[in-house]
Amino acid sequence: MSTSKRTQQFEDRQHKHDHILRTARGLLERNPMLDTTMADIAERSGVAKGTLFLYFPTREALMLSMLTIDIVAWFDELDQALEEGGRWTQDRVVHMMAQSVTNKPFFMRLLARLELTFQRAHGTQAAADFNAMLYPRMTKTGELLERRLPFLKAGEGAWLLLHARAQITGLWLMADSPPEVVKVLKESPLNHLFVDFIKEFSASMTAFLRGVEVGRA
């Protein structure tokens, strides 16, 4: 087979791969429960179900691919923000993190289900590839955090991101309620059960950072 023929086949395969991902994302973004089936995705993508499984052997693999795209973009956004000049404080770091996930509901829903659902595909190539991607990205962004928060020791920037992710996903799951539920919680005597994600994440992350700094004093 000629080089040009192989190149064309690769490009055709990549085009179909990207088309399936875009179609799946469009379906899932309209489905807060993220329970769109592979059959639905295949039908909307215009491919046979068997063909879909050639590109994504499991539903988890497909969703991990979407999450990979979003999490890389998120780390890029964090890196760009952390490279900015000026005076850096704990409050600025927390505000930057909080703003970085604002207005990203689909990404947050994917991220919140990473350990619960997607990583159940232990031993799959998709899970291995995802973790191989995640480690160096967390390390790189972690090093930038260590420059902005000098009380952090070498390697603790990635550790901070791990805790930030835990707070982000836990609080988001609590805050991601249907509008009618939010309305009831806000107006009822149990309004302390209403979770304002930005407010609660900022408070918990600030307390965490101050605790780490005080422990180093």
**CATH number for the domain harbouring residue 25:** 1.10.10
Return the pLDDT at 119: 64
Same domain, 52 and 64: no
Top-confidence residue, 146 or 116 = 146
**How many domains would you assign to the chain?**
2
Which residue in 129, 153, 155 sits closest to 142, CA to CA?
155
How many CA atoms within 13 Å lie on the side-chain side of 123?
Answer: 0
Contact between 137 and 72 under an 8 Å Cβ cutoff? The reply is yes
Find all residues with CB under 8 Å of 129, minimum gap 6, and list them: 64, 68
Specify the CATH number for the domain of residue 188.
1.10.357.10
Packing angle of the helix pair 90-100, 125-148 (nearest 10 deg): 150
Find all residues with CB under 8 Å of 142, minimum gap 6, and list them: 155, 156, 157, 158, 159, 160, 161
Q: Phi first, then psi: what are they for 24, rounded to 5°?
A: -60, -40
Same domain, 134 and 188: yes
Same domain, 84 and 33: no
Return the pLDDT at 72: 96
Range of the domain at 27: 1-56
Residue 52 has pLDDT above 80, yes or no: yes
Same domain, 124 and 42: no
Return the pLDDT at 178: 86
Same domain, 99 and 177: yes
Residue 19 has pLDDT above 90, yes or no: yes
Mind listing the pLDDT tens digit for each residue in 163-215?
Answer: 999 999 999 989 998 888 888 888 888 788 899 999 999 999 999 999 999 99
Contact between 172 and 112 under an 8 Å Cβ cutoff? The reply is yes
Residues in the chain: 217
Grouping H, G, I as helix, E, B as strand and the rest as coil, residue 186 is helix
Return the pLDDT at 193: 86
Return the pLDDT at 186: 86
Top-confidence residue, 2 or 111 = 111
Same domain, 38 and 104: no
Mind listing the pLDDT tens digit for each residue in 93-131?
Answer: 999 999 999 899 999 999 988 877 666 655 577 778 888
Return the pLDDT at 165: 94
Contact between 189 and 209 under an 8 Å Cβ cutoff? The reply is no
How far are the Cα atoms of 16, 39, 99, 137, 139 from residue 161, in angstroms, in the given order?
34, 36, 15, 10, 9
Return the pLDDT at 44: 96
Return the pLDDT at 177: 86
Same domain, 146 and 192: yes
Q: Is 103 left (phi over 0), alpha (psi -120 to 50) or beta?
A: left
Mind listing the pLDDT tens digit for each residue in 57-95?
Answer: 888 889 889 999 999 999 999 999 999 999 999 999 999
pLDDT over 70, % of the chain: 96
Same domain, 63 and 52: no
Same domain, 42 and 134: no
Q: Is the dihedral of CA 31, 69, 176, 196 positive or negative?
A: negative
